[in-house]
Structure 1
Amino acid sequence: MDFVAHLRAALPAMLADIAELVACESPSEDLAAVAASADLVARIGAERLGAAPERITSAGRAHLRWAFGDGPTRVLVLGHHDTVWPVGSLATHPATADGGVLRGPGCFDMKAGLVAAFHAIAALPDRAGVTLLVTGDEEIGSPTSRELIRAEAAGCAAALVLEASAPGGALKVERKGVSQYSVRVTGRAAHAGLEPERGVNASVELAHQVLAVAALADPGRGTTVTPTLLSAGASANTVPAAGEFAVDVRARDAAEQDRVDAALRALRPVLDDAVLEVVGGPSRPPLPRTASADLFDRASRVAAALGLPPLRGVAVGGGSDGNLTAGVGTPTLDGLGAVGGGAHADDEHVLVDELAPRAALVAALVADLLGER
């Protein structure tokens, strides 16, 4: 099959599907919104694929799975439909299509990628051995879907992640591992003007700990350790009795994740009578370049055969569910979704002319992988 020609012909339907998905807001934290989005994703997917998905519910969230054929899964196609945009964002960031550019909350990350997955799989002459998994909690770390993702990926020949591309349409061949923590301090309240010496100032203890935590970064190894959201105290004239700050850690390898984890858990209070607690830990393992190298080479050959421009692969700091599939030893190629930019930002957009070629690449790559059965 000429996948490029077939999917160029499907472009009007792809654009209609994307518009419908973007118009259905789906912030991860809003269970009702995510449920409504899951219903819409299921309907559009069923229309394109000719089959309804299996619904897998965990902690009130519905994840959708299409499994084709009676045998084991050979290729896992992975995506999510939740976004970071709160309900009401369409009022300030309306969905538009103008001058070959689509805009709207979540269009790039990653509703256009979902539509590309539907149309790419629909174009396959034989889908047996393909599983498409669409989750609803990726943007908050996949707390209810991570075990499902790992189980689906285990033993597959490949996991293809339809997350948005890197700049210029580059594929994501390496991702840092992600760890998230909360550093909590318990002190003792006192009147800030009358007898501050009777208190144990949680803000001061937090200041010591923020500096200690930030010093754990190792730029030479690509390890970032970033104190982020911070809060302390209850009133302006009271010595703060409690406070906490969040820590975001990104590391290229598991050894660095382990080093930072051990150092955070070894933190001790500086102030007398202060109590320190560190909670959290690694949430996504690294996706090393070795996990994607063979698939990237195969995708490059497929792109050349389709007459598409040469592919580029880049390393990125952000995590995705591709980290989880790589973590169980499954070869993983990420960033196969929409070409555009502005993920999570005001200028989020998708380039229309790249939709059909990217979907054709996915279809041809899946067909190539299935050909080795």
Structure 2
Amino acid sequence: MVLPNLSTDEILDGIRQWIEIESPSDDVAALARMADKVTADYEAIGALVERIPGRDGFGEHLLVTDNRHCPPEAVQGPGILLLSHMDTVHPMGTLAGPLPFRIEGDRAYGPGAEDMKGGTYLALAALRQLAREGRKTNLPVRHLLVSDEEVGSGTSREHIEREAQRAKYVLVTEPARSGGKIVTARKGMADFTITAHGEAAHAGVEHHLGQNAIREIAHQILALEAMTDYARDLTVNVGLVTGGTRINVVPDMAQVHFDVRFPSPAIGEEILARIRGLQPHNPKVRLTIEGGINRPGYEKTPGIAALFEHARKLAADIGFDLQDLKTGGGSDGNFTAAFAPTLDGLGVDGDGGHTLEERLYISSIVPRTLLLMRLMETLK
């Protein structure tokens, strides 16, 4: 197989244009501008774009279809789902302030450069090259771009799962991990809020009549943190604590918000049962426990292992050693793995995601685009 001669400069310029349209998850107008640009770029290469209206204050999603490369009889069948997101964690003004687009050596900086406008654009670049060279695929290719991944995919999950159910394979263009590794398993994720309802009282006059909700939450925090078990790859992280009104009032309310990561569905159900079974240390304080799993975990199934081995051989032909790992971070791949073999982390290699040092490595652009392109061409 003769590999195409891709232009790093052309692809990087496309990524730059996407980075320079800021698109935080909570800004519908900004996301609409991003969707306009993605739509125009995809229509310019002859793909069809369906715009899925947003709801509940979140932006729209895009479903791109390009069936020109596969046999006519395969068009309506199971295909390859490319899965990406258009939103970033960076607020408006980041580009003009602390994180402008810039190039320093092999690094291109900017909001979303690594997570994940870089990887999202690679999918377009791969499809564009297929069209330019008249190359063929065995399966139809669909690209779903969602607008709320960074805030939990609450409005896009139904679309992700629908498309995953009609996919034979799912390729997620989240950034690579640990120097270019792709993801073949992810931990499950849950988040909870525990509220302690106590009894207010004057701290100086009737302290003995109060039931201190903050004290109760302190006991719950110790119980929660004790659930972390590194040997089982299980973590419970208390991330936010609130409560009280004034220092001279016994607090009648306090809350703790915490994050749970677990390696398997069985351990996930076990830890959820333990959390939901927590009882107040002070029987005169009432607890309410809210929350649950927001992204299911998945293991490296035989189907995923076979898909990874196929990708590893393609990468070797391209000229690099592809390795995989399991990560505790979540992505929309958590939703698709239950329906179809999923490879995640197929986007650019980079570093500093979600920080003001976010960057992609320019040297990763062509190899990763070629890998996506060869996966589209060879998967059956």
Shorter-chain TM band: over 0.9
- Corresponding residue for 1:187? 198
Q: Give the residue type in structure 1 aligned to 2:63.
A: R
Partner deviation per Cα, 1:184-220 (whole Å, 9 max, x = no partner): 1212222222222222211111101111111222211
**Structure 2 Cα separation of the partners of residues 295 and 221 of structure 1:** 27
Contact 1:4 1:357 in 2 (8 A): no
Partner deviation per Cα, 1:310-360 (whole Å, 9 max, x = no partner): 1111111101011110023x1000110011111112321111121011001
- Corresponding residue for 1:98? 104
Contact 2:98 2:356 in 1 (8 A): no
Farther-moved stretch of structure 1 (102-111 vs 227-236): 227-236
Partner deviation per Cα, 1:118-176 (whole Å, 9 max, x = no partner): 01122222366111000011111110111111110114221000000002111112211
Q: Does 1:30 find its partner at 2:35?
A: no
**Structure 2 Cα separation of the partners of residues 278 and 366 of structure 1:** 45
Q: Does 1:84 find its partner at 2:89?
A: yes
**Structure 2 Cα separation of the partners of residues 173 and 292 of structure 1:** 7
- As a proportion of its length, which structure holds more helix? 1
**Structure 2 Cα separation of the partners of residues 44 and 185 of structure 1:** 51
Of 305, 311, 329 in structure 2, the residue corresponding to residue 293 of structure 1 is: 305
Q: Which runs of 4+ in 1 moved over 3 A?
A: 1-4
Q: Which runs of 5+ in 2 are unaligned?
A: 68-74
Instruction: Give the total of aligned pairs.
Output: 364
Contact 1:76 1:160 in 2 (8 A): yes
Contact 1:75 1:131 in 2 (8 A): yes
Q: Does 1:75 find its partner at 2:86?
A: no
Q: Give the residue type in structure 2 aligned to 1:98.
A: E
Partner deviation per Cα, 1:7-44 (whole Å, 9 max, x = no partner): 2x2x2221122111111221212233223222222222
**Structure 1 Cα separation of the partners of residues 114 and 198 of structure 2:** 45
**1:295 to partner: Cα distance:** 1.1
Report the TM-score, using the length of structure 1 for normalisation. 0.93
- Corresponding residue for 2:71? none
Contact 1:55 1:63 in 2 (8 A): yes
**Structure 2 Cα separation of the partners of residues 32 and 176 of structure 1:** 33
State the secondary structure of the residue aligned to 1:157. Answer: strand
State the secondary structure of the residue aligned to 1:29. Answer: coil
- Corresponding residue for 1:12? 9
Of 277, 299, 314 in structure 2, the residue corresponding to residue 266 of structure 1 is: 277
**1:52 to partner: Cα distance:** 4.3
Of 59, 71, 75 in structure 2, the residue corresponding to residue 61 of structure 1 is: 59
**Structure 1 Cα separation of the partners of residues 266 and 54 of structure 2:** 31
State the secondary structure of the residue aligned to 1:319. Answer: coil
Aligned-pair Cα RMSD in Å: 1.6
**1:4 to partner: Cα distance:** 4.4
**Structure 2 Cα separation of the partners of residues 347 and 232 of structure 1:** 34
Contact 1:3 1:123 in 2 (8 A): no
Of 236, 243, 251 in structure 2, the residue corresponding to residue 225 of structure 1 is: 236
- Corresponding residue for 1:41? 38
- Corresponding residue for 2:153? 142
**1:305 to partner: Cα distance:** 2.4
Partner deviation per Cα, 1:235-286 (whole Å, 9 max, x = no partner): 2222212121111111110011101111111111122321111111111111
Report the TM-score, using the length of structure 2 for normalisation. 0.92
Q: Give the residue type in structure 2 aligned to 1:305.
A: D
Of 300, 310, 314 in structure 2, the residue corresponding to residue 302 of structure 1 is: 314
Contact 1:4 1:356 in 2 (8 A): no
CA separation of 1:212 and 1:357: change in aligned 2, threshold 3 A: same
Q: Superposed, which structure 2 residues align to 1:231-242 within 5 Å? A: 231-242=242-253
Q: Give the residue type in structure 2 aligned to 1:336.
A: L
Q: Which runs of 5+ in 1 are unaligned?
A: none
